[in-house]
Amino acid sequence: MTSAPPPYLPGHQLLTGRCAVVTAAAGAGIGGATARRLLEEGARVVISDAHARRLKESGAELAAEFGTDRVTARPCDVTDDDQVTALFEHAEEHHGRLDIVVNNAGLGGTADLVDMTDEQWNKVLDVTLNGTFRCTRAALRRMKAAGAGGVVVNNASVIGWRAQRGQAHYAAAKAGVMALTRCAAVEAAAYGVRVNAVSPSLAMHPHLAKVTTPELLEELTGREAFGRCAEPWEVANVIVFLASGYSSYLTGEVLSVSSQHP
């Protein structure tokens, strides 16, 4: 069975007055969809990405729609701690506060373990796991000092739970993101900050189509109960839920955004 995506849901101003930072938010993937959904819910948003040209284009598009006072763009390579620090300083300087951080930056690749190089392994781990660590650390330091609470939402993956050939580095990184989320949540609860994660199975966007074979996409889609990939905004909706007061008693949780069966 293949079902059509549901209608796009309107915003309900769940995040009015909040300031959010979203990493890897340029383009049409989960990060871009999340930035848009946060804006539709009333937040002010700083989008970041390592790709300066795409970031500039995305920032201009969102600013034209939602206003330059609510959208700013700041390049950031999450493997560089100085750039991570500058990103959060930018958010506080331009919007006066930091309430929500969505750690979406990640890097994949495909290689069997026997063929995988140290460089391939380290690159995926440094962006996907270490980058999430750097941004979470920077966010928690500021949120703790401010004493006003806050929310961190990390982007994990069902591959952190389920094996897939050629994905040892990515699976290890995403499993690490899940463990990092749980440990950070225990620590941050003491100063009123919640830390959770989403774990998507398959969300279709142009970059995924470029780096994945049609055969693999067909196989993965066939595992989904709805017979289709998720739309990026469907994952973003769950991120909005975790960022909002509707999830006030959730911390240290990893929510599967999936219709996939084993």
The reply to whether 170 belongs to the active site is yes
Q: Using CA atoms, how far apart are residues 84 and 127, in angstroms rounded to an integer?
A: 12
* Cα 177 from chain centre: 11
> Hey, what amino acid is at 163?
A
3-state secondary structure of 76: coil
- Could you give the C-alpha distances from 126 to 102, 122, 130, 211, in angstroms and in order? 17, 6, 5, 19
- Which tokens hold the place of 54? 């795409």
> Hey, what amino acid is at 125?
L
Instruction: Please check whether residue 31 is in contact with residue 25, taking contact to mean a CB–CB distance below 8 angstroms.
Output: yes
- Could you give the C-alpha distances from 139 to 78, 147, 191, 195, in angstroms and in order? 13, 12, 13, 11
* Residue of 68, 71, 30 lying closest to 47 (CA atoms): 71
Phi-psi domain of 172 (left: phi exceeds 0; alpha: psi -120 through 50; beta: other): alpha
Of the residues 8, 170, 191, 246, which is catalytic?
170
Catalytic residues: 170
